[in-house]
Structure 1
């Protein structure tokens, strides 16, 4: 790879391989093409293309992460839409409110993704299941003071993600 345009070189040398790999993995050319582009955009944004030693394993790792994010977002969106479908029509939000809620859910998902697993799990247990600090601590095998620290960290992360 040249030092001047490492992402362009990476793209030129490995895009076709990544696209084929994703197509086999996903079974859909269009999704594979989108995710291949997202993979290279992610690398471009990170600014570390010049440091990549083993391109294909690196690309596969980034692409796998993006596949997982897309899958998780789809699950989140489906759960939200199912909850909306269960509401009486008079209580259903407008299409604009639905879109805004989905965007906020995606922002929260991204914010939680950057947290350690125990912190993320504590947040989900508290906010989705209504679990107490003691219950969360028991399930995670940590003290209630640790749970409080976890929730403070997760809530702060989510707040700043939405406020940004």
Structure 2
């Protein structure tokens, strides 16, 4: 259609397309209907301007702008309506630099303590606590008895705790 003035015929021809366009972007039939009405109201209000050569692309553009304006207003309005339990989901759970530093220091202390352990105790600790093997699995892998694995693990854990424990913990 070329150079058609906004008439009821334009409304009849394009209203379903514009409303579907808006509904697909909002998922809200009432909002889509309201914005469609606003779109055609603005089209009719521009009666003194030059005629529109291609009304459908113009209407899609106008509808997109109206939707953007609506979302801006709506998002501003919504910020004050969050329930207190929903506010928790907005918090930043990332640790601050002080927590990250302290955590890294503790990891370094544990790694240093592990490095000082005898090789067999260190391997038992790795198999049972790091890799998640059971005592019998670790015993088979290291060709030890289950009770030896338990003793090595107990010694390793006690040593690591003693080496990493500070008075401020």
TM-score (norm 2): 0.42
Higher helix content, 1 or 2: 1
TM-score (norm 1): 0.43
